[in-house]
Amino acid sequence: MPTDSPLPLSGLRVVEMGSLIAGPFAAKTLGEWGAEVIKIEPPGVGDPLRRWRVMDGDTSLWWQVQSRNKKSITLDLTQPEGQQIARDLIATADVLIENFRPGKLEEWGLSWEALSALNPRLIMLRVSGYGQTGPYRDRPGFGVIGEAMGGLRHLCAEPGRAPVRVGVSIGDTLSALHGVIGVLLALQHRQRNGGLGQMIDVALYESVFNVMESLLPEYDRFGIVREPAGGRLPGITPSNAYPCRDGHILIGGNGDGIFRRLMQAIGRPDLAADPDLARNDGRTARAAELDTAIGAWTEGHTLAEALEVLHAAGVPVGRVYTAADIAADPHYQARDMVVETELRDGRTLRVPGIVPKLSAAPGRLGRGGPTLGEHTAEVLESLGIDATRRTELATKGVL
């Protein structure tokens, strides 16, 4: 795998404003492919993510993943001098990423109109709960609200029970990935259209709604409101979690040929040969019957036994992984998905690898997240702000 080739985004300067998850995840992804990412943080406290979840000393372990490959500068954007430094920095940037509530940058004199006039090549990614327009634009919105409004939370439950959340901030991450797609499209557009940038408007709820498959057209055409189904995937049969003697196994037997192999493997050749079950629509009409038959077989086996039989039959199957399972799995290791990164203090930490896998430009892991303001002097010096002026600004609390 080549490691000395220039990465796809080498030479791209990204300025990141905002905090926590959606905007910073988008910037992290761009940084993994070679972009220089300069993260602006408020003096003294920095991004709250530095202290979210499990701490290692005075910094969260999450921070080491979310902020790898970034430079950190401190800047008080509520002060006019901080706003001017931000303008000077953005004037040198290709991409600006922000995830404040709509209107906040405008209060600071950093609107899209003002910044694009300053830097016509600028691409500005704006991530918010409800988008930059519409009647809800001014409402605060976290990922969990986007998941609910986008239709996902309603489906995350056992029938008749209260909805539960996916165990990670999936709404924020989906928004970040949509934002990255937008940035890459805008870079291509800029190259083909005279070097002009544009603004990208990503809403959390829309990013979730975009992956909700046929939820809306089923309602529009037939009035179907899809309801929670627990571990089952409605309309795609069989696909569910089934009990074994020592845990649950996930089986995706919904392909026509796969279904026949699954039925043969569990000793039900009668179901494999039933013409009414030859296609997905017929199987869906008898989903409860099929789940009962599969469950009766899995209950008589351990996870290891069931996995061995179904792997041999060519049936998509898996067990539920914990963090310990992931860390020990040889496939994760062979695919460079559990890798070591070096922290600022010289220690190493195992972290997720880089996705996707590019054959000629595999991305960079780099180091863990920067200390607060670690690169302030370096970045401001590149803007012509000397040590004396930096001291004055620091004294006033701008840095």
Please identify which of the residues 76, 172, 201, 291 carries the catalytic annotation. 172
Residue in 206, 30, 208 with CA at minimum distance from that of residue 123: 30
Alpha-carbon gap, residue 198 to 329, rounded angstroms:
43
Helix (H, G, I), strand (E, B) or coil at 306: helix
16 within 8 A of 38, measured Cβ to Cβ: yes
Alpha-carbon gap, residue 15 to 37, rounded angstroms:
6
Alpha carbon of 135 to those of 130, 138, 139, 207, 243: distances in Å? 9, 8, 9, 18, 47
Helix (H, G, I), strand (E, B) or coil at 233: coil
Cis peptide before 352 (omega within 30 of 0): no
255 within 8 A of 283, measured Cβ to Cβ: no
Alpha-carbon gap, residue 289 to 353, rounded angstroms:
41
User: Does the active-site annotation cover 58?
Assistant: no
Active site residues: 172
